[in-house]
Structure 1
Amino acid sequence: MLPLLDRLAFPAIRRGRLEALQINLTYRCNQRCLHCHVNAGPTRTESLSDQSLDLLHQVIDAHPVQTLDLTGGAPELHPRFRELVVHARREGLRVIDRCNLTILSEPGQEDLAQFLAEHGVEVSASLPCYSRENVDAQRGDGVFDASIKGLQQLNALGYGMPGSGLILNLVYNPQGPSLPPPQAALEAEYQRHLREDFGIVFNHLLTITNQPIARFGSTLVSRGQFNTYMQLLRDSYRPENLDGLMCRTLVSVDWQGYLYDCDFNQMLDLPLELPLDAPGALEASTAPLIARQRAHLRDLLTARLNGQPIVTRDHCFACTAGQGSSCSGALEALDL
């Protein structure tokens, strides 16, 4: 007989108050990482249009969101990235740049770190290990050295330094089909190795469970590990993590301006469901999703999402497994 969780769908959950917009500005990236759930890379061309970006400015001005979380690809490669940062900071929003670190040394981006510091942008930087061998294996030859250079550049501007107000977080993903180790213990290891070996300091380490979708999911399938990994996620399910899921307070926006409950749903083309009283939504709650108008940035000017159901599937077990996982790291450690 299969375990109980194998016979049940992920628990139904609903939205709380909207606090953050996570914008996927572009799928273009100067790297092509194995664990990337976006399948980003140098040849991708998808990018948020000027029309959608102008609409995003209106949403920021009209909506009481607190955080603008910019991701990609490499979000800094969007031609209006800096304009968006300036606008959001002027409106008092916390701005997070999901930075891969190597972008800081790309041609044309030489002043990027200085720009981020001048505008008080919080940097969440990908560094899947403090070992050169492991990082280059996951992200490409030379990525580790370029990442260390980027971190030293950020430190020189005050990032990660006590009292500077410039937040520098590092992001860890496991290299294979396993859960991240306890965040606090791994953070201490990162702090020690990076300080002793390179003189680098940072604020926090954020551990994120790999999602069994897109590039990583395909790799699992090709290696015959997909079912085993999904069983691990199900066996590690902890219902106490449900309250802290990022989808309760965040909306993910794709490069076309469409809305999703999270970035992972975006990659699986599972749109956010509009409230029934929103323009274009069908009256019948049983109506197939394909018949609904897709929720778009413009709907955030009028629609109330609080209390609305969140679209879930089996991949959601990755966010509730073990210590939990979100874009802010382990759910157990979100009070840091």
Structure 2
Amino acid sequence: MTPFAETLGLRGLTLFREAPETLLVNVGSFCNQACSHCHHHAGPGETDIMTLETAAQVADLVDRAGFPLVDITGGAPEFSEAAVFLMETLKGRCGIIFRTNLTALVSRAARVTPGLLAERKIRIIASFPSPDREEFEAQRGRHTFDLAISAMRKLNALGYGVPGSGLIIDLAVNPLGPELPQAQNEISAIFKKRLSEDHGLHFNGLFAFANMPLGRFRERLGREGLRESYLNMLEKAFCPDTVKGLMCLKSLCVDHRGILYDCDFNLAANLPLTGREIRAADFFKPFGEGLPVAVEDHCYACTAGAGFT
């Protein structure tokens, strides 16, 4: 296959960072699930967790850089003291997105609950692989479907997904295996119909993304002998029109240690910003603007078809 950087060069395309608008905060790899599509190795046995000291440095970076939006992810950030700290510290200072696998929200050990999110009017992006129980649990594990449905019911009862409530919940959908997703509007229509008719559930929008050939999903591709064919498929689906809208151009990612990356996928690939470890506490103007984005072949997943923008 053609290296991603070479594909950009052959088409006269470049990736240079613009003024950052979103800070994606990965609070660590601890998760109550070990999903087969995970681009990290998140799971119950992981111990990488952001400390409150690092969270304070991240909050300071948000103020210094003037980020209008902070996007909190993991792992499962429901179990993170740092996630709670950031939501408390940054409320009213920027918009906040909270990413969830839903099952963690109804765990007794969760520090972040549906009520906490609703009280602070935090936008939710919930990973939901399929409205079909068997397909859902093939990716997530046994008993996860009912837990996710329970979490959605609680969120709907609080107003999430209800028109006029101001409480937004969007779903993020990945294919079950090494294939490209259907058209986003088609998937959204299917999910809205199935979740409403089967469970009385509602959501606002839906995002459909290709699986990233990193982490646990990369290992699965290797076991099944599909890594090369999957990357070739992504390369063939390369769409140059997606490049100008890639999220890495206007966002930054910070990991549980406070180290900065162009995006969460480069974090998973261990490609730090500028190729060296720059910490949030040491990052100042122009906050990465004008720097080249680090790329490797996993970037094909963000430019395949409609892309990951």
TM-score, length basis structure 1: 0.87
Contact kept, 8 Å, 1:10 with 1:312, in 2: the verdict is: no
Q: CA deviation at 1:119?
A: 0.2
Task: Name 1:38's counterpart in structure 2.
Answer: 40
- Considering only aligned residues, what root-mean-square deviation do their CA atoms show, in Å? 1.7
- Taking the aligned partners of 1:103 and 1:252, their CA distance within structure 2 comes to 22
1:57 aligns with 2:76: no
Q: CA deviation at 1:100?
A: 0.7
> Match for 1:315 among 295, 298, 303?
298
Secondary structure of the residue aligned to 1:13 is coil
1:145-164 Cα deviation digits (max 9, x unpaired): 11001001000000011111
Task: Name 2:185's counterpart in structure 1.
Answer: 184
Task: Name 1:22's counterpart in structure 2.
Answer: 24
- In structure 2, runs of 5+ residues without a counterpart are none
Q: CA deviation at 1:195?
A: 0.5
Contact kept, 8 Å, 2:65 with 2:287, in 1: the verdict is: no
Given the superposition, is the C-alpha separation of residues 51 and 5 from structure 1 closer, same or farther in structure 2, using an over 3 Å criterion? closer
Task: Name 1:220's counterpart in structure 2.
Answer: 221
Task: Name 1:296's counterpart in structure 2.
Answer: 279
Q: Which has the higher contact order (CA 8 A, sep 6+)?
A: 2
Task: Name 1:99's counterpart in structure 2.
Answer: 100
Task: Name 1:276's counterpart in structure 2.
Answer: none
Deviates more, 1:31-40 or 1:9-18: 9-18
- Taking the aligned partners of 1:7 and 1:114, their CA distance within structure 2 comes to 45
Give the length in aligned residue pairs: 305
- Taking the aligned partners of 1:194 and 1:169, their CA distance within structure 2 comes to 13
User: Which protein shows a greater Rg?
Assistant: 1
1:158 aligns with 2:156: no
Given the superposition, is the C-alpha separation of residues 32 and 5 from structure 1 closer, same or farther in structure 2, using an over 3 Å criterion? closer
Contact kept, 8 Å, 1:22 with 1:251, in 2: the verdict is: yes
Q: CA deviation at 1:76?
A: 1.6
Q: CA deviation at 1:81?
A: 2.0
Secondary structure of the residue aligned to 1:203 is coil
Deviates more, 1:301-310 or 1:206-215: 301-310
1:98-135 Cα deviation digits (max 9, x unpaired): 11111121114387101100001111111100000001
Given the superposition, is the C-alpha separation of residues 110 and 258 from structure 1 closer, same or farther in structure 2, using an over 3 Å criterion? closer
- Taking the aligned partners of 2:112 and 2:237, their CA distance within structure 1 comes to 44
Given the superposition, is the C-alpha separation of residues 7 and 70 from structure 1 closer, same or farther in structure 2, using an over 3 Å criterion? closer
- Taking the aligned partners of 1:49 and 1:187, their CA distance within structure 2 comes to 37
Contact kept, 8 Å, 1:122 with 1:166, in 2: the verdict is: yes
Look up the equivalent residue of 2:303 and give its one-letter code.
T
- In structure 1, runs of 5+ residues without a counterpart are 274-288, 327-336
- Taking the aligned partners of 2:158 and 2:107, their CA distance within structure 1 comes to 18
- Taking the aligned partners of 2:268 and 2:286, their CA distance within structure 1 comes to 23
Q: CA deviation at 1:7?
A: 9.6
1:8 aligns with 2:6: yes
Secondary structure of the residue aligned to 1:124 is strand
Q: CA deviation at 1:260?
A: 0.5
- Taking the aligned partners of 1:261 and 1:148, their CA distance within structure 2 comes to 33
Identity of aligned residues (%): 37
Deviates more, 1:303-312 or 1:249-258: 303-312
Look up the equivalent residue of 1:310 and give its one-letter code.
V
Off by >6 Å, runs of 4+ in structure 1:
4-7
Contact kept, 8 Å, 1:9 with 1:314, in 2: the verdict is: no
TM-score, length basis structure 2: 0.94
Task: Name 1:126's counterpart in structure 2.
Answer: 127
Contact kept, 8 Å, 1:174 with 1:180, in 2: the verdict is: yes
> Match for 1:48 among 50, 75, 79?
50
Task: Name 2:115's counterpart in structure 1.
Answer: 114
- Taking the aligned partners of 2:49 and 2:285, their CA distance within structure 1 comes to 25
> Match for 1:89 among 77, 88, 91?
91
Task: Name 1:257's counterpart in structure 2.
Answer: 258
Look up the equivalent residue of 1:67 and give its one-letter code.
L
Q: CA deviation at 1:66?
A: 1.0
Given the superposition, is the C-alpha separation of residues 309 and 110 from structure 1 closer, same or farther in structure 2, using an over 3 Å criterion? closer
Contact kept, 8 Å, 2:55 with 2:85, in 1: the verdict is: no
Look up the equivalent residue of 2:115 and give its one-letter code.
Q
Task: Name 2:288's counterpart in structure 1.
Answer: 305
1:3-43 Cα deviation digits (max 9, x unpaired): x7789354531111100000110211111100011110111
1:256-303 Cα deviation digits (max 9, x unpaired): 100000111101111111xxxxxxxxxxxxxxx4xx5x2110233344
